[in-house]
Chain A
Amino acid sequence: MRRALTAVAAVLAVVLVVLGAAGPASAHNVLVGSSPHDGAKLRHGPRAVVLTFNQPVQHGYDTITVTGPGGGRWEAGATTVDDRTVRVRVRPLGPAGAYTVGYRILSADGHPVSGELKFSLRTAGTGTPSSPGPTTAAQAANADGGGGLAWLWIAIVVVIAVGAVIALLRRARDTPS
């Protein structure tokens, strides 16, 4: 009993330290500014899309895409984060028309925030998209999935938990004090 209490005290101490180090949790990030701004009518394509949020954005889980008329993709390279701003470079744009900026970032509080804004290009450029047309149905399905492997881990957790409960209950019953 005494040793168990010591073990608990140690665990609680570790929890307190880690909680203290986890830093402030904060509210959801809100988009407060962008370049180009939502609804902009541009003569020339932007060299980059820059989104500014009201709070720092977590690194490593952030994506900005630019989808053009006809479904071609126009962002170039990976999305980068600098404190409250998230940025992606843009290829030279092609046809005139409506472009959609889609984003998904991870808030300071660990929750994903996504959204979109639009701008239009008045004068056609000479660029070509990185992927020429709209994604096929198969690709779209793949993009929406990816949760399959997660369910394998979940099934393993459930099986272990149920097994542990049954085995330990039986053991406690066999050896009453």
Chain B
Amino acid sequence: MTDEAPPLPVPAPVPASSDGARVAGGGEVAARFEPVVAYAGAGLVAAVVATGLMVGGRVPGIAAPGPLVEYGLPVARVLLDASAVATIGLSLLARLLGYDAPDRTEPVMRTARRLAFVSAVAWVACALIATTLQAAEVNPGVPLTPGAVAAYVGAVAGGKGLMLSAGCALVCAFFGWLALRHGEKVPAELRIGIALFGLLPLPVTGHASDGVYHDYSMISMELHVAGAAVWTGGLLAVAVLVAARPALLELALPRFSRLASAAIFVVAATGLFNGLVELALTPGVTLPGGLLTTGYGVLVLVKVALVALLGGLGAHFRFRLLPAVARGGRAAVFGWASGEVAVMGLAYGVGFVLSRAPVV
């Protein structure tokens, strides 16, 4: 793909990406957004389908929040995850490409910084929207006033967590904007750190388990979220900006491959731990039967299968594509990376529903 390639039609997985692929003056590159569409699209499909399976029948005499909220909320949360993951991955790209060949990497980094700023603003917006929808969800049947949203944030940990995440994302956007003007003088580590920090309040909005395992399951859940974000975000950034440029791929792929190898073990181990603890601590559920007899258990199994699939794809990257790239040969990295982020999107979509679904 050449630098003069016409800007691709920008998909709208995040509300603020309208400026997405427009090539600015000053040596930027065109980004390929198919992987973003694959990732966010798969996430949305998984979340909506899983929600459809989980939304129970109407209970007589009880007002329901209505389909706009029931389906709007998973959509907002998937887009929140997508924009947060994109922010982390794009910030991470500076570390993956390294600083040794600025003449080669700087055009890509300029685009990466602009996209990171846009995705951080989208993250803020998605977090605020998700807060609004969650407040609407617990106030069914009445018009949602700003006071009701404030009361929800004040009373419920889930609302506080989302607002904290929005705050971190706002700081991310601020540093992203500084980086637009001052380049890599604004340290990438700082931007990565703040973005990862912005993910940490999110598990508080789901159900990590209680009781004796509470501390462990919270730590495990935080590791799960951070590991998945670094892995997915890194791959997304590589796919969008690097995969079609062999000279840069040579720099980024070995580093990313090491990162991904560590991430998959962390994500698989922590995810399995949390899923099983959640099932084991629910009254009336026995293991291993509960894996098949409860909707929650089945979703845990679906996620295990998706991680196994990702492991296979990762192995293909590590043992087939990476040696080819290292030899300077051509490899279909873009296609494989797009496929892999789509599987990750499915896992995120199911994951969101899993974090809220009643266990029994």
Q: How far is the CB of B172 from chain A (nearest CB, A)?
A: 10
Residue numbers in A under 8 Å from B125 (CB-CB): 157-158, 160-161
Docked Cα-Cα span, A177 to B156, in Å, equals 44
Q: How far is the CB of B102 from chain A (nearest CB, A)?
A: 16
Closest to B17 in A: A165
With beta carbons under 8 angstroms apart, the residue of A54, A108, A168 that contacts B283 is A54
Does A28 lie within 8 Å of B159, measured CB to CB? no
Main secondary structure on B side of the interface with A = helix
Residue numbers in A under 8 Å from B286 (CB-CB): none
Residue numbers in A under 8 Å from B164 (CB-CB): 15, 18-19
Tell me whether A25 and B66 are in contact in the complex, defined as CB-CB below 8 angstroms, given that A104-B59, A154-B132 are known contacts: no
| Chain B stretch 110-142: residues in CB contact (< 8 A) with chain A | 114, 117-118, 121-122, 124-125, 128-129, 132-142
Quick one: CB contact mask for A130-170 with B, threshold 8 Å, 1 for yes?
00000000000011111111110110011011101110110
Tell me whether A145 and B66 are in contact in the complex, defined as CB-CB below 8 angstroms, given that A27-B210, A103-B59, A175-B181 are known contacts: yes
Closest to B149 in A: A153
Residue numbers in A under 8 Å from B329 (CB-CB): none
Does B139 lie within 8 Å of A25, measured CB to CB? no
Residue numbers in A under 8 Å from B278 (CB-CB): 27
Quick one: CB contact mask for A49-62 with B, threshold 8 Å, 1 for yes?
00000110011110
B25 adjacent to chain A (CB < 8 Å): yes
Docked Cα-Cα span, A23 to B214, in Å, equals 11
Does A151 lie within 8 Å of B59, measured CB to CB? no
Q: How far is the CB of A87 from chain B (nearest CB, A)?
A: 16
| Chain B stretch 270-327: residues in CB contact (< 8 A) with chain A | 278, 281-284
B69 adjacent to chain A (CB < 8 Å): yes
Does B140 lie within 8 Å of A146, measured CB to CB? yes
Closest to B146 in A: A153
With beta carbons under 8 angstroms apart, the residue of A19, A28, A114 that contacts B200 is A19
Does A113 lie within 8 Å of B168, measured CB to CB? no
Quick one: CB contact mask for A89-120 with B, threshold 8 Å, 1 for yes?
00000000000101110111111111110000
B261 adjacent to chain A (CB < 8 Å): no
Does A11 lie within 8 Å of B133, measured CB to CB? no
Q: Which of B1-9, B201-209, B344-352 contacts its partner?
A: B201-209
Docked Cα-Cα span, A7 to B171, in Å, equals 9
Residue numbers in B under 8 Å from A153 (CB-CB): 132, 144, 146, 149
Q: How far is the CB of B167 from chain A (nearest CB, A)?
A: 7
B254 adjacent to chain A (CB < 8 Å): no
Q: How far is the CB of A158 from chain B (nearest CB, A)?
A: 5
Docked Cα-Cα span, A110 to B156, in Å, equals 6
Does A144 lie within 8 Å of B66, measured CB to CB? yes
Does B122 lie within 8 Å of A161, measured CB to CB? yes
With beta carbons under 8 angstroms apart, the residue of B18, B56, B136 that contacts A114 is B56
Tell me whether A149 and B66 are in contact in the complex, defined as CB-CB below 8 angstroms, given that A61-B138, A110-B205, A169-B117 are known contacts: no
Docked Cα-Cα span, A66 to B270, in Å, equals 43
Extra pairs beyond A27-B282, A157-B128 (12, CB < 8 Å): A11-B171, A19-B164, A26-B207, A30-B358, A30-B360, A58-B155, A65-B60, A65-B62, A146-B140, A147-B136, A151-B68, A177-B181
* 8 nearest CB pairs, A to B: A65-B61, A110-B158, A26-B210, A161-B125, A172-B180, A143-B63, A102-B61, A102-B59
